[in-house]
Amino acid sequence: MSMEKKQTLLFRVYQILCEYSDEEHPLTQLEIIKLLNDNYGLEVERKAIGRNISYLKEMGYEIHSDKKGSYLEEKAFENSELQLLIDSVLCSKHISANYSKQLIDKLIKFGGKYFKPNVKYVCSINDWSKTDNKEFFLNIELIDEAIERGKQVTFNYNKYGEDKKFYVTAKHTVSPYQMILHNQRYYLMSLNERWKNVGFYRMDKITDMLILEEPLTPIKSLNGYENGINYKELSVSRPYMFADMPERIVLKCFSYLIDEIIDWFGKDISIEKIDDVYIRITLMSSPRAMKYWALQYVEHVEVLYPKYLRSKIKTALEDSIKKYFIEI
């Protein structure tokens, strides 16, 4: 047998063990021979199977062999890990239904013949809320390339209309810095070269992206980003992806809400007990994001500082109350 055929056989034996074997389903040498012939048209002698399994063990693959047969002890993913990845793809609103199905099919193959995912969810994938943007993965590749080359990009930004179709709202030229996953959405953090402000663009709303030859504006040249991107600050100080700089915020809230606050803002917060019912929380957050967050928890939270933010929330509440006093 030529060296090329020997290498091919070694790889095919490994593939058979990956796909068809586990602790509960060890394969005998005769079963491996049959699978090699059925799947790849390879005719192999029995002694060649034992020899190739020994080669794989010498190469570091954890293969258990006994009288019952052989199986690969450690695969690329445990079944629980695969199910977690599949669930993540299903829940990802930024991935279209078609791409979600393709990704899930690839993940299932890692589990082998005996992996049983929650097929009912996979079958109903079109019922999930998914983006219609088919350029999502292409955009990721283009942004990676632009960041590596230090170049600006241009793209169309889109929104849904009343007819539920995608429409271009504006064309942007930006210096791309980072792609960020936040609240199950992917955002492009970048500097708008026209307005010279840092913004967060939804990746699933970007189309027609092109890499330009103009060099990007270094992020460390921007006010507030002299030390680069603080990823921890980005994740906890912006419950929603507004681009204004974080400020000191003081809240008064019921003590039972502390678990929710830590979920949103992390543990780098100051907690002061007011009485048996209320606590005072001091944290750093985007004021614009905090306005919407506080309105979401309006029955449980009161913004004490800064005063201008408290005033904005008061105005929003007054306007909302007026709407609900109008009979319809």
Tell me the per-residue pLDDT of 266-321, one tens digit each, with 9 for 90 and over. 888 999 999 999 999 999 999 999 999 999 999 999 999 999 999 999 999 999 99
Least confident of 69-73, 101-105, 141-145, 298-302: 101-105
Per the DSSP assignment, residues forming a β-bridge with 191 are 175, 198
Residue 129 banded pLDDT, cuts 50, 70, 90: low
Average pLDDT score over residue span 157-172: 89
Residue 142 banded pLDDT, cuts 50, 70, 90: very high
CA 190 – CA 196 distance, rounded (Å): 10
Average pLDDT score over residue span 256-261: 92
Judged on CB neighbours under 10 Å (0-12, 13-18, 19+), 176 is buried
Q: In this model, does residue 208 exceed pLDDT 90? A: yes
What Cα–Cα distance (Å) separates residue 97 from each residue in 71, 117, 185?
35, 17, 15
Enter the DSSP assignment of 227. T
* Residue type (1 letter), 78: E
Angle between helix 46-58 and helix 29-40 axes, rounded to 10 deg = 90
Closest CA to 135 of 193, 202, 200, 194: 202
CA dihedral 292, 298, 303, 309 (to 10 degrees): 40
Q: Which pLDDT score is estimated for 123?
A: 46
Q: In this model, does residue 121 exceed pLDDT 50? A: no
% of the chain exceeding 70 in pLDDT: 94
Cα 182 versus chain centre, distance? 8
Average pLDDT score over residue span 232-260: 86
Average pLDDT score over residue span 204-220: 96
Q: Which pLDDT score is estimated for 128?
A: 57
Tell me the per-residue pLDDT of 35-63, one tens digit each, with 9 for 90 and over. 999 998 988 888 899 999 998 888 888 89
Q: Which pLDDT score is estimated for 122?
A: 47
Q: In this model, does residue 140 exceed pLDDT 50? A: yes
Omega of the bond leading into 306 within 30 degrees of 0 (cis): yes
Residue 124 banded pLDDT, cuts 50, 70, 90: low
The answer to whether the predicted template modeling score (pTM) of the entire model surpasses 0.85 is no
Token pair belonging to 326:
């109008």
Neighbours of 85 (CB within 10 A): 16
Q: Which pLDDT score is estimated for 1?
A: 52
Q: Strand (E) positions, the chain?
A: 63-66, 69-72, 151-160, 166-182, 185-192, 197-202, 206-215, 247-254, 270-273, 278-285, 301-305
Enter the DSSP assignment of 246. P
Beta strand 278-285 with 247-254: parallel, antiparallel or unpaired?
Answer: antiparallel
